[in-house]
Amino acid sequence: MGGITPLFTTVLPAASSLVNGVNRFGGSAANGSAASAQQDAARLEAERQALERKYQEERGAEERRYTYEQQGRQEQARAQQDAQAREWARQDELRRQELELQYRKDEQARAREMEWLSRGQNQAGGDLRANQEAALRAQEADAQNRLAQLAATAEADEKRRVDALRRTMARTRAAMGANGVSAADGSGEAILLGLVNDTDSERQDAQKLDQIKRQAIQQEVDSVRRRNLLEQAQLAERQRLEFLSKFY
């Protein structure tokens, strides 16, 4: 389109000048050459009009070509934009899938770690309870042995007291008989009753002491049970804090 305009602007003024020159020449020479000049002028005008039509046609074609090219560039730009948008969408989808995959992997790893920690904590709790139960059974067995020994000692002491009371009462009766004192008399009965009361008092003291010993033995067993419960609670709290610190 830029090449046609200079041609048109160069040819048309030259043709117009020529027509004007012919007109001036015709004014000065009114002979037979006037007809020839008019023919030349008509021919030049026809050529000018032909050139103008050609220029208009070529200009229209150039404008149409420019419009088509502009439309083509716009369509190409839209296509590129659509392609870019599709590429961005594809990349976004890939990133989303990668993030989702990584999230699933992280969750699976987290679940495995939670399972391993839970297993370890359960194992630790089981080991603690097993050790505690073994220690408690040993403490209970020791308590049973000590209680049995205490009962056997109490039984032997009671037998000793009864035998000693019998011997003492026999000696006392013999002594009272030698002195002419009857066991049925008030003084004799009082003496024998005093011996019985002394033995009964000794028995009560021994029973109280045995009761204290039995309570002490039972308290030792109860103390082991309480200590076991405390250790289990402390372990459970440590495990809970460990679990929370790792996964929350």
Cα of 64 vs its chain's centroid, Å: 65
Helix (H) or strand (E) holding 187: helix 186-247
The per-residue pLDDT for 2 is: 45
Contacts of 220 (CB under 8 A, 6+ apart): 139, 143
> What confidence score (pLDDT) does residue 45 get?
87
pLDDT computed for residue 184 by the predictor = 63
Residues of the chain with pLDDT under 70: 1-32, 181-186
pLDDT the model gives residue 19: 44
Tell me: the pLDDT tens digits for 117-165?
999 999 999 999 999 999 999 999 999 999 999 999 999 999 998 998 8
pLDDT of residue 197: 87
Contacts of 55 (CB under 8 A, 6+ apart): 4, 5, 7, 8
- Classify each residue of 128-148 as buried b or exposed e, where b means 16 or more C-beta atoms within 10 Å of its C-beta: beeebeeebeebeeebeeeee
